[in-house]
Homo-oligomer: A and B are copies of this chain.
Protein backbone atom coordinates (compact mmCIF):
# COMPACT_ATOMS: atom_id res chain seq x y z
CA UNK A 1 0.00 0.00 0.00
CA UNK A 2 1.84 3.10 -1.16
CA UNK A 3 1.94 6.23 0.96
CA UNK A 4 -0.47 9.03 0.09
CA UNK A 5 -0.37 12.74 0.46
CA UNK A 6 -2.42 12.40 3.62
CA UNK A 7 0.09 9.99 5.11
CA UNK A 8 2.88 12.42 4.48
CA UNK A 9 0.88 15.27 5.97
CA UNK A 10 0.14 13.36 9.16
CA UNK A 11 3.68 12.10 9.42
CA UNK A 12 5.13 15.58 8.98
CA UNK A 13 2.46 17.21 11.12
CA UNK A 14 1.43 19.68 8.48
CA UNK A 15 -1.58 20.11 6.28
CA UNK A 16 -2.10 18.13 3.10
CA UNK A 17 -2.19 21.38 1.28
CA UNK A 18 1.31 22.27 2.30
CA UNK A 19 2.66 18.92 1.25
CA UNK A 20 0.97 19.40 -2.09
CA UNK A 21 2.56 22.81 -2.39
CA UNK A 22 5.98 21.36 -1.83
CA UNK A 23 5.43 18.56 -4.29
CA UNK A 24 4.19 20.78 -7.06
CA UNK A 25 6.83 23.43 -6.50
CA UNK A 26 4.60 26.20 -5.25
CA UNK A 27 6.60 29.34 -4.60
CA UNK A 28 5.34 30.45 -1.25
CA UNK A 29 6.84 27.78 0.90
CA UNK A 30 9.54 28.56 3.42
CA UNK A 31 12.83 26.80 3.01
CA UNK A 32 12.56 25.22 6.44
CA UNK A 33 9.13 23.79 5.69
CA UNK A 34 10.20 22.52 2.30
CA UNK A 35 13.11 20.63 3.81
CA UNK A 36 10.93 19.20 6.51
CA UNK A 37 8.28 17.97 4.09
CA UNK A 38 10.78 16.61 1.62
CA UNK A 39 12.33 14.56 4.35
CA UNK A 40 8.97 13.11 5.30
CA UNK A 41 8.32 12.31 1.67
CA UNK A 42 11.63 10.59 1.43
CA UNK A 43 11.18 8.59 4.60
CA UNK A 44 7.76 7.34 3.59
CA UNK A 45 8.79 6.78 -0.02
CA UNK A 46 5.85 8.83 -1.19
CA UNK A 47 5.09 9.11 -4.93
CA UNK A 48 2.28 11.29 -6.20
CA UNK A 49 -0.49 9.24 -7.73
CA UNK A 50 -0.75 10.35 -11.35
CA UNK A 51 -4.29 9.07 -11.71
CA UNK A 52 -5.59 11.20 -8.90
CA UNK A 53 -3.62 14.15 -10.17
CA UNK A 54 -5.09 13.65 -13.60
CA UNK A 55 -8.61 13.45 -12.29
CA UNK A 56 -8.09 16.73 -10.53
CA UNK A 57 -6.19 18.66 -13.17
CA UNK A 58 -7.52 17.06 -16.32
CA UNK A 59 -4.01 16.66 -17.62
CA UNK A 60 -2.14 13.42 -18.03
CA UNK A 61 1.06 14.65 -19.63
CA UNK A 62 0.76 11.85 -22.12
CA UNK A 63 0.17 11.79 -25.83
CA UNK A 64 -0.93 8.85 -27.91
CA UNK A 65 0.80 8.08 -31.17
CA UNK A 66 -1.54 5.91 -33.14
CA UNK A 67 -0.33 3.82 -36.05
CA UNK A 68 -1.77 0.88 -37.96
CA UNK A 69 1.32 -1.29 -37.51
CA UNK A 70 4.27 -0.50 -35.35
CA UNK A 71 6.46 -3.09 -37.04
CA UNK A 72 6.46 -1.12 -40.25
CA UNK A 73 9.90 0.49 -40.18
CA UNK A 74 8.67 3.87 -41.27
CA UNK A 75 6.25 4.03 -38.37
CA UNK A 76 8.72 2.85 -35.79
CA UNK A 77 11.29 5.35 -37.01
CA UNK A 78 8.72 8.11 -36.88
CA UNK A 79 7.66 6.94 -33.44
CA UNK A 80 11.16 7.44 -32.25
CA UNK A 81 11.30 11.04 -33.44
CA UNK A 82 7.88 11.72 -32.02
CA UNK A 83 8.96 10.43 -28.63
CA UNK A 84 12.04 12.62 -28.70
CA UNK A 85 10.17 15.71 -29.81
CA UNK A 86 7.53 15.19 -27.12
CA UNK A 87 10.14 14.73 -24.42
CA UNK A 88 11.53 18.15 -25.34
CA UNK A 89 8.31 19.79 -24.29
CA UNK A 90 7.57 17.61 -21.28
CA UNK A 91 5.23 15.03 -22.73
CA UNK A 92 5.49 11.30 -22.71
CA UNK A 93 4.27 9.31 -25.68
CA UNK A 94 2.50 6.01 -25.70
CA UNK A 95 2.30 4.10 -28.94
CA UNK A 96 -1.00 2.59 -29.82
CA UNK A 97 -1.24 0.09 -32.63
CA UNK A 98 -4.59 -0.18 -34.30
CA UNK A 99 -3.58 -3.10 -36.51
CA UNK A 100 -5.80 -2.37 -39.47
CA UNK A 101 -8.65 -2.55 -37.05
CA UNK A 102 -11.25 0.02 -37.90
CA UNK A 103 -13.15 -0.57 -34.72
CA UNK A 104 -10.12 0.22 -32.68
CA UNK A 105 -9.52 3.41 -34.60
CA UNK A 106 -13.11 4.37 -34.19
CA UNK A 107 -13.00 3.68 -30.48
CA UNK A 108 -10.06 5.95 -30.14
CA UNK A 109 -11.63 8.81 -31.97
CA UNK A 110 -15.04 8.54 -30.41
CA UNK A 111 -13.49 8.30 -27.00
CA UNK A 112 -15.06 4.92 -26.55
CA UNK A 113 -11.92 3.63 -25.10
CA UNK A 114 -9.34 4.88 -22.70
CA UNK A 115 -8.78 7.93 -24.75
CA UNK A 116 -9.15 10.25 -21.84
CA UNK A 117 -5.88 9.01 -20.56
CA UNK A 118 -4.22 11.25 -23.09
CA UNK A 119 -4.01 14.97 -23.57
CA UNK A 120 -3.79 14.62 -27.32
CA UNK A 121 -3.46 12.23 -30.21
CA UNK A 122 -1.10 11.98 -33.15
CA UNK A 123 -2.85 9.84 -35.66
CA UNK A 124 -1.62 8.07 -38.75
CA UNK A 125 -4.99 7.08 -40.04
CA UNK A 126 -6.14 4.06 -41.86
CA UNK A 127 -9.84 4.77 -41.96
CA UNK A 128 -11.62 6.50 -44.69
CA UNK A 129 -11.97 10.17 -45.06
CA UNK A 130 -15.70 10.37 -44.65
CA UNK A 131 -15.74 8.39 -41.46
CA UNK A 132 -13.05 10.45 -39.86
CA UNK A 133 -14.91 13.66 -40.33
CA UNK A 134 -17.65 12.87 -37.90
CA UNK A 135 -15.67 10.97 -35.39
CA UNK A 136 -13.58 13.29 -33.37
CA UNK A 137 -16.43 15.68 -32.77
CA UNK A 138 -17.82 14.08 -29.59
CA UNK A 139 -14.54 14.13 -27.71
CA UNK A 140 -12.83 17.25 -28.99
CA UNK A 141 -9.56 15.63 -28.14
CA UNK A 142 -6.67 17.58 -29.66
CA UNK A 143 -5.77 15.65 -32.77
CA UNK A 144 -3.08 15.92 -35.40
CA UNK A 145 -3.11 13.77 -38.50
CA UNK A 146 0.13 12.51 -39.96
CA UNK A 147 0.72 11.42 -43.49
CA UNK A 148 -2.67 12.15 -44.96
CA UNK A 149 -3.50 15.35 -46.62
CA UNK A 150 -6.76 15.20 -48.37
CA UNK A 151 -9.14 15.84 -45.50
CA UNK A 152 -10.93 19.07 -45.90
CA UNK A 153 -9.27 21.29 -43.42
CA UNK A 154 -11.07 20.25 -40.27
CA UNK A 155 -7.97 18.88 -38.64
CA UNK A 156 -4.33 19.71 -38.34
CA UNK A 157 -2.14 17.73 -40.69
CA UNK A 158 1.51 17.21 -41.18
CA UNK A 159 2.47 15.39 -44.35
CA UNK A 160 4.66 15.56 -47.38
CA UNK A 161 3.44 16.67 -50.76
CA UNK A 162 2.63 13.21 -52.01
CA UNK A 163 2.03 14.20 -55.59
CA UNK A 164 5.34 15.95 -55.78
CA UNK A 165 7.21 13.16 -53.99
CA UNK A 166 5.93 10.57 -56.43
CA UNK A 167 6.65 12.88 -59.32
CA UNK A 168 10.25 13.35 -58.17
CA UNK A 169 10.79 9.64 -57.82
CA UNK A 170 9.43 8.78 -61.24
CA UNK A 171 11.14 11.73 -62.83
CA UNK A 172 14.42 10.39 -61.49
CA UNK A 173 13.76 6.98 -63.04
CA UNK A 174 13.02 8.63 -66.37
CA UNK A 175 16.14 10.75 -66.09
CA UNK A 176 18.27 7.64 -65.85
CA UNK A 177 16.98 6.48 -69.18
CA UNK A 178 14.20 4.11 -68.19
CA UNK A 179 11.03 4.28 -70.22
CA UNK A 180 8.81 1.45 -69.03
CA UNK A 181 8.16 2.60 -65.49
CA UNK A 182 5.80 0.48 -63.42
CA UNK A 183 4.29 1.36 -60.04
CA UNK A 184 3.41 -0.74 -57.02
CA UNK A 185 1.08 0.52 -54.33
CA UNK A 186 -1.95 2.00 -56.01
CA UNK A 187 -5.18 1.43 -54.15
CA UNK A 188 -8.44 0.59 -55.81
CA UNK A 189 -10.43 2.27 -53.03
CA UNK A 190 -10.38 5.95 -53.37
CA UNK A 191 -10.82 6.56 -49.68
CA UNK A 192 -7.12 6.25 -49.13
CA UNK A 193 -5.67 9.58 -50.01
CA UNK A 194 -1.96 8.83 -50.00
CA UNK A 195 -1.87 6.19 -52.73
CA UNK A 196 -4.25 8.27 -54.80
CA UNK A 197 -1.94 11.24 -54.68
CA UNK A 198 1.12 9.20 -55.42
CA UNK A 199 -0.57 7.71 -58.42
CA UNK A 200 -1.32 11.21 -59.65
CA UNK A 201 2.35 12.17 -59.32
CA UNK A 202 3.42 9.00 -61.07
CA UNK A 203 1.19 9.63 -64.05
CA UNK A 204 2.10 13.28 -64.14
CA UNK A 205 5.78 12.52 -64.52
CA UNK A 206 5.13 9.97 -67.24
CA UNK A 207 2.91 12.26 -69.26
CA UNK A 208 5.38 15.07 -68.96
CA UNK A 209 7.82 13.10 -71.08
CA UNK A 210 5.14 11.93 -73.42
CA UNK A 211 4.50 8.50 -72.00
CA UNK A 212 0.92 7.45 -71.52
CA UNK A 213 0.47 5.48 -68.26
CA UNK A 214 -0.48 1.88 -68.86
CA UNK A 215 -2.98 0.22 -66.61
CA UNK A 216 -1.10 -3.07 -66.45
CA UNK A 217 2.01 -1.32 -65.13
CA UNK A 218 0.17 -0.04 -62.05
CA UNK A 219 -0.16 -2.80 -59.51
CA UNK A 220 -2.10 -2.51 -56.27
CA UNK A 221 -0.72 -3.46 -52.87
CA UNK A 222 -2.91 -4.01 -49.88
CA UNK A 223 -0.44 -3.66 -47.04
CA UNK A 224 2.75 -1.97 -48.20
CA UNK A 225 4.67 -4.97 -46.95
CA UNK A 226 7.69 -6.76 -48.36
CA UNK A 227 5.48 -9.70 -49.27
CA UNK A 228 3.04 -7.54 -51.23
CA UNK A 229 5.92 -5.87 -53.01
CA UNK A 230 7.30 -9.25 -53.92
CA UNK A 231 4.02 -10.51 -55.25
CA UNK A 232 3.31 -7.43 -57.30
CA UNK A 233 6.78 -7.45 -58.79
CA UNK A 234 6.45 -11.10 -59.79
CA UNK A 235 3.37 -10.16 -61.74
CA UNK A 236 5.07 -7.23 -63.40
CA UNK A 237 8.04 -9.34 -64.45
CA UNK A 238 5.74 -11.88 -66.03
CA UNK A 239 4.34 -9.32 -68.47
CA UNK A 240 5.32 -9.83 -72.08
CA UNK A 241 6.87 -6.38 -72.16
CA UNK A 242 8.73 -6.24 -68.89
CA UNK A 243 9.10 -2.86 -67.14
CA UNK A 244 12.64 -1.56 -66.82
CA UNK A 245 11.89 0.39 -63.64
CA UNK A 246 9.54 0.10 -60.71
CA UNK A 247 8.39 2.93 -58.52
CA UNK A 248 7.24 1.52 -55.18
CA UNK A 249 4.98 3.58 -52.94
CA UNK A 250 7.01 2.50 -49.91
CA UNK A 251 10.51 1.22 -49.26
CA UNK A 252 9.12 -1.97 -47.80
CA UNK A 253 7.35 -2.72 -51.07
CA UNK A 254 10.63 -1.97 -52.80
CA UNK A 255 12.55 -4.45 -50.67
CA UNK A 256 10.13 -7.16 -51.67
CA UNK A 257 10.22 -6.11 -55.30
CA UNK A 258 14.00 -6.23 -55.35
CA UNK A 259 14.02 -9.75 -54.07
CA UNK A 260 11.49 -10.74 -56.72
CA UNK A 261 13.73 -9.36 -59.43
CA UNK A 262 16.65 -11.45 -58.17
CA UNK A 263 14.53 -14.55 -57.89
CA UNK A 264 13.56 -14.03 -61.53
CA UNK A 265 17.22 -14.22 -62.42
CA UNK A 266 17.41 -10.53 -63.21
CA UNK A 267 19.46 -7.75 -61.80
CA UNK A 268 18.82 -4.43 -60.07
CA UNK A 269 19.59 -1.89 -61.45
CA UNK A 270 20.77 -3.34 -64.79
CA UNK A 271 17.52 -4.97 -65.79
CA UNK A 272 15.11 -3.18 -63.53
CA UNK A 273 15.68 -0.01 -61.55
CA UNK A 274 13.80 0.32 -58.29
CA UNK A 275 12.96 3.29 -56.11
CA UNK A 276 10.85 3.59 -52.98
CA UNK A 277 9.55 6.17 -50.56
CA UNK A 278 10.34 6.53 -46.84
CA UNK A 279 14.11 6.18 -46.62
CA UNK A 280 14.12 3.43 -44.04
CA UNK A 281 17.50 2.36 -42.73
CA UNK A 282 17.17 -1.09 -44.21
CA UNK A 283 17.54 0.44 -47.66
CA UNK A 284 20.93 1.89 -46.86
CA UNK A 285 22.36 -1.54 -46.11
CA UNK A 286 20.55 -3.66 -48.63
CA UNK A 287 22.19 -4.95 -51.79
CA UNK A 288 21.86 -2.95 -53.86
CA UNK A 289 21.18 -0.01 -51.61
CA UNK A 290 17.78 1.47 -52.31
CA UNK A 291 17.14 4.81 -53.94
CA UNK A 292 14.24 6.50 -52.24
CA UNK A 293 12.38 9.64 -51.35
CA UNK A 294 13.48 10.64 -47.89
CA UNK A 295 10.87 12.16 -45.62
CA UNK A 296 12.05 14.45 -42.92
CA UNK A 297 10.61 12.50 -40.02
CA UNK A 298 12.07 14.71 -37.36
CA UNK A 299 10.46 17.70 -39.02
CA UNK A 300 7.17 15.87 -39.15
CA UNK A 301 7.49 14.86 -35.53
CA UNK A 302 8.43 18.31 -34.32
CA UNK A 303 5.67 20.03 -36.20
CA UNK A 304 3.10 17.52 -35.05
CA UNK A 305 4.14 17.86 -31.44
CA UNK A 306 4.20 21.63 -31.67
CA UNK A 307 0.77 21.58 -33.16
CA UNK A 308 -0.85 19.21 -30.70
CA UNK A 309 0.63 20.95 -27.68
CA UNK A 310 -0.53 24.28 -29.01
CA UNK A 311 -3.99 22.85 -29.40
CA UNK A 312 -3.95 21.49 -25.88
CA UNK A 313 -3.30 25.00 -24.62
CA UNK A 314 -5.70 26.66 -27.02
CA UNK A 315 -8.38 24.28 -28.27
CA UNK A 316 -9.89 26.65 -30.78
CA UNK A 317 -6.92 27.16 -33.06
CA UNK A 318 -7.68 27.14 -36.71
CA UNK A 319 -6.56 23.87 -38.29
CA UNK A 320 -3.37 24.09 -40.28
CA UNK A 321 -1.94 21.94 -43.00
CA UNK A 322 1.79 21.62 -42.73
CA UNK A 323 3.83 20.31 -45.61
CA UNK A 324 6.98 18.43 -44.69
CA UNK A 325 9.98 18.52 -47.01
CA UNK A 326 11.19 15.49 -48.92
CA UNK A 327 14.38 14.84 -50.82
CA UNK A 328 15.50 12.38 -53.44
CA UNK A 329 18.18 9.95 -52.27
CA UNK A 330 19.93 8.33 -55.16
CA UNK A 331 21.59 5.03 -54.37
CA UNK A 332 22.59 1.89 -56.21
CA UNK A 333 19.16 0.59 -57.14
CA UNK A 334 18.64 3.28 -59.77
CA UNK A 335 22.18 3.61 -61.05
CA UNK A 336 22.34 4.72 -64.67
CA UNK A 337 23.23 2.09 -67.19
CA UNK A 338 25.08 2.72 -70.40
CA UNK A 339 23.71 0.89 -73.36
Point out the residues of chain B lying under 8 angstroms from A96, CB to CB.
92, 94-95
Point out the residues of chain B lying under 8 angstroms from A50, CB to CB.
113-117
User: Taking CB as reference atom, which chain B residue is nearest A114?
Assistant: B50
User: Taking CB as reference atom, which chain B residue is nearest A138?
Assistant: B45
Task: Tell me whether A286 is interfacial, beta carbon within 8 Å.
Answer: yes
Q: Would you call A97 and B116 a contact (CB within 8 A)?
A: no
Stretch at the interface among A21-29, A162-170, A255-263: A255-263
Interface residues on A, range: 35 or more
Task: Tell me whether A69 is interfacial, beta carbon within 8 Å.
Answer: yes
Q: Would you call A114 and B61 a contact (CB within 8 A)?
A: yes
**Contact bitstring A40-72, B, C-beta under 8 A = 1, else 0:** 000001010111101100001110000001110
Q: Would you call B45 and A70 a contact (CB within 8 A)?
A: no
Nearest-neighbour CB distance to chain B for A296, whole angstroms, equals 16
Q: Would you call B71 and A79 a contact (CB within 8 A)?
A: yes
Task: Tell me whether A139 is interfacial, beta carbon within 8 Å.
Answer: yes
Contact of A282 (CB < 8 Å), options: B55, B61, B282: B282
Point out the residues of chain B lying under 8 angstroms from A139, CB to CB.
2, 47
Contact of A112 (CB < 8 Å), options: B47, B99, B287: B47
Task: Tell me whether A149 is interfacial, beta carbon within 8 Å.
Answer: no
Task: Tell me whether A83 is interfacial, beta carbon within 8 Å.
Answer: yes
Q: Would you call B282 and A111 a contact (CB within 8 A)?
A: no
Nearest-neighbour CB distance to chain B for A86, whole angstroms, equals 11
User: Taking CB as reference atom, which chain B residue is nearest A141?
Assistant: B2
Q: Would you call A70 and B73 a contact (CB within 8 A)?
A: no
Task: Tell me whether A136 is interfacial, beta carbon within 8 Å.
Answer: no
Nearest-neighbour CB distance to chain B for A236, whole angstroms, equals 17
Whole-angstrom distance between the alpha carbons of A282 and B226 in the complex?
8
> Which residues does A use to contact B, with CB under 8 Å?
2, 45, 47, 49-52, 54-55, 60-62, 69-71, 73, 76-77, 79-80, 83-84, 92, 94-97, 99, 110-117, 138-139, 226, 230, 255-256, 258-259, 262, 281-282, 284-287
